[in-house]
Structure 1
Amino acid sequence: MSMFSIFNVSGSAISAQSQRLNVVASNLANVEAVAGPDGQAYKARQLVFQTENMGADTAAGVRVSGVTESNVAGRRVHDPSHPSADAQGYVTHSNVNAVEEMVNMISASRSYQNNVEVMNTAKTLLLKTLQMGQ
C-alpha cells in the first residue's frame, strides 16, 4: 500500500463518519417527536457500512451502503388531551433512545478525529521524506 492510499482510506472513513453524525443528529432532533399525520412516529435510523476497494493496491476503505430504520415499537404515553392521541387516548412517540444516540455520536466523533489525525501524520511523514531529498 502506498503512502497516498492512506489519504483515500482515511478520506472514505471521514466521509462515512460525517454521514453517521448527520443521521445521529437527525435521530436526536426527533427524540420527543410524536406520530405525524400518517399515524407513524419517527423511527431511529442507523447507517450500514461496507468495505470498498480503494484502487489497484490492497487498500480498503469504507462507504455507506444504506440506511436502516429500527423496528422497535415507539413509546406510547396515555394522554387523551393531546391532539395526536389515538382512539384509546395514547400518543405514540419516536423509538429513539437519547442515551444510545449520544454514545453513537461520541463514537462517530472520535472516529472522525482519529482519521483526521491519520491524515495529518501521513502528511507529516511525506513532508519529512521530501525534506530528506533536499
Structure 2
Amino acid sequence: MPLDPLSATVKIAASGLNVQSERLRIVSENLANAQSTGTEPGADPYQRKTISFASALDREIGAAFAEIDSIQRDRSEFPLEYMPGHEAANADGFVKMPNVNPIIEMADMTEANRSYEANLQVIKQARELISMTIDLMRSQS
C-alpha cells in the first residue's frame, strides 16, 4: 500500500536526518583527533574519515531518499611537524600529524547542521499539516 504524500515526505526527511547525523558524528571524530599522533617513531597518526552519500529509490513511496554510500579514510599525505622531543618523532625530529584541517571540518559541520535543521523543519511542517487536516476533519463531522 503506497504511503500518502505527507508520510512519504516525512520518510524522505527522516533519511536526511539520519545521514546528516552520521556526517556530524564523522566530523566530530575528525575534530577530536586533529592532534592525535602515532605513539612510536614514524608511526602514522589519526587518518581523517570522509563520508559519501547515495540516493536510493524506495519503490513503496516512489521517491528517492538519502543513504550513506561509504565511510572511507582520506588518503592525503600527513603533514610533518618538527617536534624533536615527541615520542613519534622520526630520526630527523619530524612527527606525522593527522591530515585533518579543522577549518574544513568546521565548514562541513556547519553545512551538515544546516541540512539537519532543514530536514527537521520539513518533518515539523508535515506534522503540522497532518494535525491541521485532522482538526479540519473533526470540525466537518
Matched with 1:57 is 61
Q: 2: distance between equivalents of 1:8 and 1:18?
A: 15
Identity %, equivalent residues: 26
> Does structure 2 conserve the Cα–Cα contact (< 8 Å) formed by 1:78 and 1:90?
yes
> Does structure 1 conserve the Cα–Cα contact (< 8 Å) formed by 2:38 and 2:45?
yes
Matched with 1:20 is 23
Q: Look at both structures and tell me which one has the larger radius of gyration over its CA atoms.
A: 2
Matched with 1:11 is 14
Number of residue pairs aligned between Structure 1 and Structure 2: 134
1:55, distance to aligned residue in structure 2 (A): 3.6
Unaligned runs of 5+ in 1: none
Shifted more, 63-72 versus 38-47: the winner is: 38-47
TM-score, normalised via structure 1 length = 0.93
> Does structure 1 conserve the Cα–Cα contact (< 8 Å) formed by 2:39 and 2:87?
no
Structure-to-structure mapping, 1:12-51, within 5 angstroms: 12-37=15-40, 39-51=43-55
TM-score, normalised via structure 2 length = 0.88
Q: 2: distance between equivalents of 1:52 and 1:22?
A: 22
Which letter does structure 2 place at the counterpart of 1:114?
Answer: A
1:94 aligns with 2:77: no
Which structure 1 residue ranges, 4+ long, deviate > 4 Å from structure 2? none
Unaligned runs of 5+ in 2: none
1:59, distance to aligned residue in structure 2 (A): 1.4
Let me know the Cα RMSD of the aligned residues: 1.5
Q: 2: distance between equivalents of 1:30 and 1:36?
A: 14
